[in-house]
Structure 1
Amino acid sequence: MSEVLFVPGAGEVEDLSAAELLALARSRKSAEDRAAADLLDVAARWADLHPPESIHSAASFTVPGSQHEEPIAGEGAPLVAEFCCAELGTVLGITSTAAKKLIGQALELRHRLPRLWAQVQAGAVPAWRARVVADTTIHSTPPLTVEAAGFVDAQVAAVAGRVGSAQLDRLVAETIRRYDLATADPAADPEDGYLHVDPRHVTVDTDDVHYAGTMRIEAEVDIADALDFDRAVAHRAAARAALGSTESLDVRRAKALGDLARTQTALDIAGLTAEAATADANEAGDLPAARQVVIHAHFDASFSGDTTVFGPTGRMENGRRLVLLDQIRSWCADSRTEVTITPVIDLNSELTAQGYKVPADIREQVQLRDRMCVFPFCSRPARRCDVDHIVPWDDDAHAEGRPQPGPATTSNLACLCRFHHRFKTHSPWRYAMVAPGVFEWTSPHGHRYRRDHTGTTDLDPPHPPDVAAPPGIPRPRRR
């Protein structure tokens, strides 16, 4: 006789024992893993429905900017129509880039890592582990051939996907050597078994601004450069302490990094008193500004007589994070700082240009209003986007004596990143501005989304839960 299982509701969870809660956690995790495996299968099947041939069936000729076939997995995996990723992404509540990544990893697993794919679908390997492996084989440099990917697949599948990132990197490097994929490079050591790739870089993460007004910097440099850098930072941090700074060593080292960034104009303050350094800075009129501050920050302001009173907190466009007025003051207070103040723009006014081209003042207003690309779930900052005519501009309207249907006016303009600008122009997706800065989109399959400065809202009614719920646990006895 089979045991009757049930899935408890929110109120009934409070009555469960410790053992029953653990059983519930296990069943939920099992359901999550099963759903993730199913999602990979759905992504691969979605790609099957959008092969490159679907582009040519949708349009009889190619125009500049239209979609193209795109390889999003390794050699041997099928190509897909470029625009197919966006609709799957919006249904899942993720960006088009994340959807492309999901589809690419699904195709990589199904076509180039079939053993690992089978283990995922059988529930033996979690989907997230397999996706890490697929992402590594997709982005290998040089690219892995079908045979090389098969070798990686056999090794990873043999341990049921339990391979760490370092082990995976070594495995790919060994595969590159085994299949002789590395490009001849006189600087590479043929005996070390690793592909010679120059890892040096300096990356400033401008998209992630901490609430404290800081950014993260990551770098990979030569050993000698790294040691020189460490000595320079330590020296400048010590100099700040000698000048009377009571800040922590970490803070002084962070500020020393800013000094190094302005080396060509920063003053050598070693051995000087704070007063002498300030006087020297004031007399150095021939030096260019050591820091140029162009800050796009927004604060609430009120008037007290002839004085403008700003609120203590505001919002930075870069990173869309909270910023304190005191932080802005401190950034502008350092010596030899050039501050650029942009005029205040009324976001509620309607601005109109005479022709197709969007002038700088209207572009600035639209960027400040939209803040980001207005396609559902896209997070690209507005200042890195195109300004799109929602209703397209008609070049023939004036010559034919008709009113212009798509004028360059605030209410007909929106920020779209280049991909979604092309996407809107060359696909069946349509959108309209229903209020200032509020946009409603309709996908080719009829899904509707609202996008405003708070994010994306799915306008479709919620779907009922699946009839076949995952296995639960026995109903607890009431006392």
Structure 2
Amino acid sequence: MIETLEAGPGTEVDDLGPAALLASIRSARAVEDAAAARQLDLAARWADLHPPESIHHAATFTSGRGISLEVEEPIAGEGCPTVAEFCVAELGTVLGISTVSAKRLIGHALELRHRLPRLWTQVQSGRVAPWRARMVAEATIHATPSLTPEAAGWVDAQVAAVAGRVGPAQLDRLVAETIKRFELAADDPAADPEDGYLSVDPRHVTVHDEDVHFAGTVRIEAEVDLADAFDVDRVLTHGAELRKALGSTESLDARRAAALGDLARTQTALDLHTQGNTGTRDADGLPVAREVVLHAHFDARSVGDGDTVFGPTGRLEERQRLVLLEQVRAWCGDSRTKVTVQPVIDLNAHLEAPGYEIPDRIREQVILRDTTCVFPFCTRPARGCDVDHVIEYDHDADTEGRPQPGPTLTPNLAALCRFHHRLKTHTAWHYDVIGPGEFEWTSPHGHRYRRDADGTTPLDPPPEPSRRPDRP
């Protein structure tokens, strides 16, 4: 939206001076914040249109026991209204985000409007940036133990008093103080009745595998007991020195990082002098220590002498990350590592099976072809998804002598995560196969999306909205 910034008529942005550029950037941020605040308001209104009472309108199918297959979805704290779970998906696709992200957006909007009303007012008036308010809402929604409406209101008052200018560390301390002030853990038999719940246990170990560096590394963040920290530091120091004594020329930091991996594999650094063993047991008779399963895919070609040559780069199914062939070779050459090579599956072949059940060979082909759930903007790995018949399998066709409309054939199969499988089965969402691994989805309100190996593409302008009065 550069053309809307504070440049005079006919003035090119490149002609602006430093002061004018800063003013334009500040104006752009104000426009962005105002749009984000309105998006929160509209998300809350979308939830208003889909209360639990609307479930019987949204889900036309019921289970054999007459229970609605759609359920109430509590996505914010106590005191906030619940919503019909399937309404979240269409909001997400319109915004171009995953269903999980859309659920988080609605949850933050409801938390702010119902449990943090002061902060909500400041967001809507432009005094507090929406991203700051959403950070507070995330903390109050997921506090452990859960915050009562009164406790959330106290947090709201404290944050609103400083116009939302709190950082993550301050927010953590504020939530911990709130838990203590309102004695939310007083019923815990393990808690000290004189002291109440002093603070939230901060210990954790987090592997940030969603952010993989091009070098094939990830960050590990941890907060542990002081004594445990000293023990870990001592073990890593010893491991780094051991690697240096065995001839490693890597830096101290690199050797400490490698020692942490050795620690996770029961300190196989003690066996660094024996490399390349295969099978289920090492030469010393001990079982293999590394049992991590990774699915790496590389392009391969045959050369004149009959050997197979692999490309230098491939793809990991886990998190859909780039992987280098040299990295895989290093992993395979590490001590006590079991390596299994799976046969190549032709993704272009049409595999078919009689009956409804999907054999493993067909399931594996669908997983490799789709890589993720094929619902618009969903990124759940296909290996953890259901395999769905796009055209429903008719269990009575054979006995009644009719052609099977939905055969168990790879062109009629797709990977869907459990939530989107239920969504497709029990709502007006539907999709069609338009090519190998290519699908066209249509939402209940007529929005259409193309989903293929490159991602999701909206296919046409949204339909004209129906005119209806705003909900008071």
What's the TM-score, normalizing by structure 1? 0.88
Report the alpha carbon displacement of residue 302 of structure 1 after superposing the two structures with TM.
Answer: 1.6
Higher RCO, Cα 8 Å, sep 6+: 1
Between 390-399 and 344-353, report the one with greater CA deviation: 390-399
Q: What residue identity is the alignment partner of 2:115?
A: R
Task: Please say if 1:82 is aligned against 2:82.
Answer: no
Match of 1:451 in 2: 451
Aligned length: 455
Report the alpha carbon displacement of residue 174 of structure 1 after superposing the two structures with TM.
Answer: 2.2
Match of 2:290 in 1: 291
Between 183-192 and 122-131, report the one with greater CA deviation: 183-192
Q: Is the 8 A contact 1:233 1:253 kept in 2?
A: yes
1-side partners of 2:336 and 2:316: how far apart? 23
Between 323-332 and 362-371, report the one with greater CA deviation: 323-332
Report the alpha carbon displacement of residue 93 of structure 1 after superposing the two structures with TM.
Answer: 0.9
Query: Which secondary structure does the structure 1 equivalent of 2:128 belong to?
Result: coil
Report the alpha carbon displacement of residue 109 of structure 1 after superposing the two structures with TM.
Answer: 1.0
1-side partners of 2:457 and 2:290: how far apart? 41
Match of 1:217 in 2: 220
Q: What residue identity is the alignment partner of 2:57?
A: S
Structure 1: gaps of 5 or more residues:
464-479
Query: Which secondary structure does the structure 1 equivalent of 2:266 belong to?
Result: coil
Q: Is the 8 A contact 1:210 1:321 kept in 2?
A: no
Over 3 Å counting, the alpha-carbon distance change for 1:58 and 1:278 in structure 2 is closer
Query: Which secondary structure does the structure 2 equivalent of 1:355 belong to?
Result: coil
2-side partners of 1:27 and 1:268: how far apart? 60
Match of 1:268 in 2: 270
Structure 2: gaps of 5 or more residues:
464-472
Match of 2:469 in 1: none
Over 3 Å counting, the alpha-carbon distance change for 1:186 and 1:75 in structure 2 is closer
Over 3 Å counting, the alpha-carbon distance change for 1:424 and 1:7 in structure 2 is farther
Q: Is the 8 A contact 2:98 2:377 kept in 1?
A: yes
Task: Please say if 1:161 is aligned against 2:160.
Answer: no
* Cα-to-partner distance string for 1:280-306 (whole Å, 9 max, x where unaligned): 999834211233464422222221121
Report the alpha carbon displacement of residue 180 of structure 1 after superposing the two structures with TM.
Answer: 2.3
Match of 1:123 in 2: 126
Q: What residue identity is the alignment partner of 1:334?
A: D
Report the alpha carbon displacement of residue 208 of structure 1 after superposing the two structures with TM.
Answer: 4.0
2-side partners of 1:111 and 1:135: how far apart? 14
1-side partners of 2:300 and 2:86: how far apart? 44
Q: What residue identity is the alignment partner of 2:47?
A: A
Match of 2:376 in 1: 376
Over 3 Å counting, the alpha-carbon distance change for 1:235 and 1:395 in structure 2 is same
Q: Is the 8 A contact 1:71 1:78 kept in 2?
A: yes
Picking from 142, 149, 154, the partner of 2:152 is 149
Match of 1:475 in 2: none
Match of 1:258 in 2: 261
Q: What residue identity is the alignment partner of 1:297?
A: A
Q: What residue identity is the alignment partner of 1:348?
A: N
Query: Which secondary structure does the structure 1 equivalent of 2:270 belong to?
Result: coil
Match of 2:25 in 1: 25
Q: What residue identity is the alignment partner of 1:439?
A: F
Q: Is the 8 A contact 1:298 1:316 kept in 2?
A: yes
Query: Which secondary structure does the structure 2 equivalent of 1:202 belong to?
Result: strand
Q: Is the 8 A contact 1:176 1:182 kept in 2?
A: yes
Match of 1:420 in 2: 420
Match of 1:328 in 2: 328
Over 3 Å counting, the alpha-carbon distance change for 1:309 and 1:5 in structure 2 is closer
Q: What residue identity is the alignment partner of 1:20?
A: A
Q: Is the 8 A contact 2:282 2:336 kept in 1?
A: no
Query: Which secondary structure does the structure 2 equivalent of 1:338 belong to?
Result: coil
Q: What residue identity is the alignment partner of 1:144?
A: L
1-side partners of 2:231 and 2:204: how far apart? 16
Q: Is the 8 A contact 1:206 1:318 kept in 2?
A: no
Map 1:173-212; keep pairs closer than 5 Å: 173-185=176-188, 187-188=190-191, 195-212=198-215
Query: Which secondary structure does the structure 2 equivalent of 1:395 belong to?
Result: coil
1-side partners of 2:76 and 2:338: how far apart? 47
Query: Which secondary structure does the structure 2 equivalent of 1:173 belong to?
Result: helix
Over 3 Å counting, the alpha-carbon distance change for 1:184 and 1:9 in structure 2 is farther
Match of 2:468 in 1: none
Over 3 Å counting, the alpha-carbon distance change for 1:408 and 1:302 in structure 2 is same
2-side partners of 1:138 and 1:292: how far apart? 36
Aligned-CA RMSD value: 2.8
Task: Please say if 1:132 is aligned against 2:128.
Answer: no
Report the alpha carbon displacement of residue 224 of structure 1 after superposing the two structures with TM.
Answer: 2.0
2-side partners of 1:313 and 1:9: how far apart? 51
Over 3 Å counting, the alpha-carbon distance change for 1:192 and 1:15 in structure 2 is farther
Q: What residue identity is the alignment partner of 2:107?
A: G
Over 3 Å counting, the alpha-carbon distance change for 1:450 and 1:10 in structure 2 is farther
2-side partners of 1:327 and 1:279: how far apart? 15
Query: Which secondary structure does the structure 1 equivalent of 2:315 belong to?
Result: strand
